[in-house]
Amino acid sequence: MEAITRQQKKDIRLIGKFVEVYCAGKHRVAEHAPVDLPGELGTRTLCPDCAAFLHYAITRRLKCPLEVEKPTCKHCRTHCYAKPQLAQVKEIMAYSGRTLMLRGRLDYIWHYFF
Ligand SMILES: [Zn+2]
């Protein structure tokens, strides 16, 4: 596997956390399993649906053509997600953003917005 840049790691760490928070809050009854993140970013515990989504998100991120000039996925003008996944990521970000804010996890919020 090719090397992952610092920016990619940051984004993957972030999306992994957001999906995990969303899954823990929304899919409590589903069966969860650990999912490995690339680049030694650890594991996240997710249901199969969220694991599939996270895999998709990571794949898109690693293939991003705008590596150098890109500020963050949020501000990207080339939305690389397909329509269903784009709707899903918006829901995940909104839900987890709120949850993390309430928990005082401003470090994550900071990375998301800046
Ligand atoms: Zn889930």
Domain residue limits, the chain: 6-108
Instruction: Quote the pLDDT of residue 25.
Output: 96
Instruction: Quote the pLDDT of residue 105.
Output: 80
Which residues fall inside 5 Å of ion ligand 1, going by CB? 23, 27, 47, 50
DSSP-derived 3-state class of residue 110: helix
Report CA torsion sign: 42, 113, 102, 92: negative
CA of 101 to the centre of ligand 1 (A): 20
CA of 105 to the centre of ligand 1 (A): 20
At what angle are helices 106-113 and 6-26 packed, to 10 degrees? Answer: 120
**Distances from the Cα of 90 to the Cαs of 6, 35, 69, 76, in angstroms?**
23, 21, 22, 14
CA of 32 to the centre of ligand 1 (A): 8
CA distance 57 to 82: 10
CA of 26 to the centre of ligand 1 (A): 7
CA of 47 to the centre of ligand 1 (A): 4
CA of 56 to the centre of ligand 1 (A): 14
pLDDT tens sequence for the chain (114 residues): 567 888 889 889 989 999 999 999 999 999 999 999 998 899 999 999 999 999 999 999 888 877 666 666 666 766 788 889 989 999 999 999 999 888 888 777 766 655
